[in-house]
Amino acid sequence: MAENTKIEWCDHSWNPWIGCTKVGPGCDHCYAETLSRARLGVVWGPGQERRRTKPANWAKPHKWNREARAFAEANGGRKQRVFCASLADVFDNGVDPAWRRDLFDLIAATPNLDWLLVTKRIGNVAKMLAEIGIDHLPPHVWLGITVVNQAEADRDIPKLREAPATIRFLSIEPMLGAVVLRSEWLAELDWVICGGESGPGARPMHPDWARSLRDQCADAGVPFLFKQVGEWLHEDQLGWWPYGDDAIESCRWADGFYRVGKKAAGRLLDGVEHNGYPHA
């Protein structure tokens, strides 16, 4: 399953297989699980079958790889970014290692693309790569982890630092609490993505958490991308609200937050759109 995506930080989202298991608080309201079950009939969870996507889907990255020169000429020389996998986790224990071998063969055959792998299972990376004969990810693979709070940062960022990758990044989304990044972590990070939660059951993200992260990255010279505010807009962000007082009064309110929806809340942090990327 591949598509030109609405995700702000990539050009394509592409799935070698579909299905996963929830492993943390960031997974509580997972859009991918809902989409997989409702549209594709794939049930998530331990022991559930992961569904490999069709050969026609696996052919699409080869097409993008062939088109790379034209894309680069039209986009300042950069490569297309492929988010793999939006409806799965490459390092999921429930995946056949042979499928993972096929995926990394495909990645090796498409060096004109930048492959973005985001995992919640960073502890699996080195051993699962070793199982298929890989001791270091190629430079056109960016390895990221999902971190939603300080506890996950303390647990998983040290593992990311040890991972066999050239480009390492954080996806702090949904941001469920303040996160302080140690200086030694920032020195080895190439990119930080941040965003609030959207969809049914979304939890608010206080803008102070995002501001702190923005400032930490700026001080360390780490590219920062603010993906979205999420469903909830805090009252101290209303100065950037473009729809007028009448519209805001119709929104539900709790603890200083207005539920205005993802689209209306937008991507601005204190009136600024942040679109930092690493130099690949």
Quick one: pLDDT band at residue 1, thresholds 50, 70, 90? very low
Query: Chain-wide mean pLDDT for the chain?
Result: 93
pLDDT of residue 80 exceeding 60: yes
Q: What is the pLDDT of residue 256?
A: 87
Residue 116: name the closest of 2, 214, 9 by CA.
9
For residues 204 and 174, what is the distance between their CA atoms, to the nearest angstrom? Answer: 9
Over range 244-255, report the average pLDDT: 67
Q: What is the pLDDT of residue 40?
A: 87
- Biggest CA–CA distance in the chain, Å, is 61
Over range 12-37, report the average pLDDT: 92
For residues 152 and 138, what is the distance between their CA atoms, to the nearest angstrom? Answer: 26
The pLDDT tens digits of the residues spanning 6-15 come to 888 999 999 9
The tokens for 188 are 């080895």
Over range 27-53, report the average pLDDT: 90
For the entire predicted model, the pTM comes to: 0.93
The pLDDT tens digits of the residues spanning 188-235 come to 999 999 999 999 899 999 999 999 999 999 999 999 999 999 999 999
Q: Give the rounded percent of residues in the chain with a pLDDT score beyond 90.
A: 78
Q: What is the pLDDT of residue 179?
A: 98
3-state helix, strand, coil in the chain (%, to 5): 35, 20, 45
Domain ranges in the chain are: 12-275
Quick one: pLDDT band at residue 2, thresholds 50, 70, 90? very low
pLDDT of residue 247 exceeding 70: no
pLDDT of residue 117 exceeding 70: yes
Quick one: pLDDT band at residue 34, thresholds 50, 70, 90? confident
The pLDDT tens digits of the residues spanning 141-173 come to 999 999 999 999 999 999 999 999 999 999 999
For residues 278 and 67, what is the distance between their CA atoms, to the nearest angstrom? Answer: 22
Hey, which bits of 185-256 come out as E strands? 191-195, 224-228, 232-234, 253-254
